[in-house]
Amino acid sequence: DAKTTQPPSMDCAEGRAANLPCNHSTISGNEYVYWYRQIHSQGPQYIIHGLKNNETNEMASLIITEDRKSSTLILPHATLRDTAVYYCIVPRGTGNQFYFGTGTSLTVIP
Amino acid sequence: DSGVTQTPKHLITATGQRVTLRCSPRSGDLSVYWYQQSLDQGLQFLIQYYNGEERAKGNILERFSAQQFPDLHSELNLSSLELGDSALYFCASSADYSSYNEQFFGPGTRLTVL
């Protein structure tokens, strides 16, 4: 079962790109990497997920290394509303349920 | 708006009591997950149902139980409540239980046990 490691906190200047790293060195070949964020005590919000290829959507880009042992979530132009806790998750178990770590607390600074 | 609804939003009760939390998944989703978020434990997976059947179990206490009904809504029952059960309870839904389908989370129910 893959586990993830993220830095506990990061700062980013408003308007700049925020790059959030995640290590998942024990990931297996068919396991996806998911990114969610949680703003205050709201429900976690889905951002993006991927298996091997880099992915992009309207919210963010996900870069997965070729060996799949790590990934980076990129918020291209961070705004104050992107201040949140960001979770990198590799689903596991019979239901592909999520086991959340402590995530990265991102603070976007004006 | 994720499309997942949870009721009630807030619940205040006393120790020893029993409460029921309700979750309606997104239209078409067959899988429902329950998570608990407390200050000291973070977000923890409790239990998952798929199309009415229990699929996976996490750190769910024996005092807690859940079920998923034929219309696919789910209820989480918490009994003999203790102070430590005070937490945010989230449900999430997914099309199925495959790893390539994302989970969508509801807004949560905040439970306060006094």
Confidence of residue A94 (pLDDT cuts 50, 70, 90): confident
- Whose CA is closest to A103, among A1, A4, A30, A13? A4
What is the reported pLDDT for B98?
86
Closest Cα to residue B11, out of B82, B114, B105?
B114
| Residue range A34-48: mean pLDDT, rounded | 96
Q: How confident is the model at residue A5 (pLDDT cuts 50, 70, 90)?
A: very high
More confidently predicted of B85 and A53? B85
Query: Is B110 near chain A, with CB under 8 Å?
Result: yes
What whole-number distance in Å separates Cα of residue B93 and Cα of residue B71? 14
B55 touches chain A (CB under 8 A): yes
Q: What is the largest CA-CA distance in chain A?
A: 43
More confident site: B98 or A109:
A109
- Mean pLDDT value across chain A: 94
Cβ pairs A/B, distance under 8 A: 72
Which of the 8 DSSP states describes residue A50?
Answer: E
Helices (H), chain B: none
Q: Does B3 touch chain A (CB under 8 A)?
A: no
pLDDT for residue A2:
58
Which residues of chain A does B98 touch, with a Cβ-Cβ cutoff of 8 Å?
96
A41 and B108 within 8 Å at the Cβ level: the answer is yes
Structure confidence at residue A93 as a pLDDT band (50, 70, 90): confident
Instruction: Out of A31, A44, A46, name the one closest to residue B99 (CB).
Output: A31
B108 in reach of chain A (CB within 8 A): yes
- Which parts of chain B sit beneath pLDDT 50? none
- Strand partners for B112: B12
Residue A1: per-residue pLDDT: 55
3-state secondary structure of B20: strand
pLDDT band at A44; cut points 50, 70, 90: very high
